[in-house]
Structure 1
Amino acid sequence: MSKKLHGNGLWESSRMMLPQHKERIIEHQQQYNRQSRPIIHEDELEIMTRNISDSLHYKEVIKVRLFSEYEPHVICGVVTEISPFTKKIRMEIEEGLEWIDFDEIVSVQFM
């Protein structure tokens, strides 16, 4: 019997990979590492809003972790404005000012 039919011989014998196969492998790896949006308990939501409010009033630096499907995204800074109508907060970070959508926030901690 041929060596190609044993173990991983079929893949080892063909060294060529089509671009479509490579793209599909990359898509599969991204889907495998994809995370779902966490469900935030009411108590945790209350703690997050209190920490944001304290950062606004007392100019305390906070660390905000935002939801991202593939890798965590963390922003550190001071809250300068809260917009209840648009449900966004504005933070002063090293690069300047940034608006953050409140629905994207996963956790808020003091530094």
Structure 2
Amino acid sequence: MKLDRKNLLWEGSRMFLPEHRRALLQQRKNATKLAVPKIDEQQLETMTYILQEAIEYEQPVLATYVTTYEVTCFCGFVDKVNQMEKYIQLSNGSQTEKIPFYLLVDVTWP
């Protein structure tokens, strides 16, 4: 009987401990974390203007914001702008999102 030593040579090293797997996944996750971008004054004024117009004329907006691992967009109507707690609340009929000001990247018309 002939043994194929190519595969058997590394057979014992296929074991991957659960602790190693968790550590590897955590390391990959941390490598993909996004930083909150700085917004210049002109872009901030544009976003403020669009939010005011959306509230006044009841128009939907497209808010782009940063989560921990990705940039997310949400389209909806402005329900509330809370300046004390610094967030905007958008809803599109089926979902409601509270987005903190510091996570906002852009607010545009859809």
Q: Distance in 2 between matches of 1:28 and 1:11?
A: 25
Summarize deviations over 1:32-76 as a string: whole Å, max 9, x none.
111111111111111111111111011111100121121122211
* TM-score, scaled relative to structure 1: 0.79
State the partner residue of 1:16.
15
Pairwise CA RMSD = 2.1
Matched length: 102
Structure 1 SS opposite 2:89: strand
Q: Does 1:56 align with 2:55?
A: yes
Q: Distance in 1 between matches of 2:69 and 2:96?
A: 25
State the partner residue of 2:3.
none
Alignment of 1:28-107 (within 5 A): 28-107=27-106
Shift of residue 96, structure 1, vs aligned partner: 4.7
Gaps of 5+ in 2: 1-8
Identity, in percent, stands at 28
Structure 2 SS opposite 1:100: strand
Q: Distance in 2 between matches of 1:11 and 1:70?
A: 36
Matched residue type, 2:14 = R
Gaps of 5+ in 1: 1-9
* TM-score, scaled relative to structure 2: 0.80
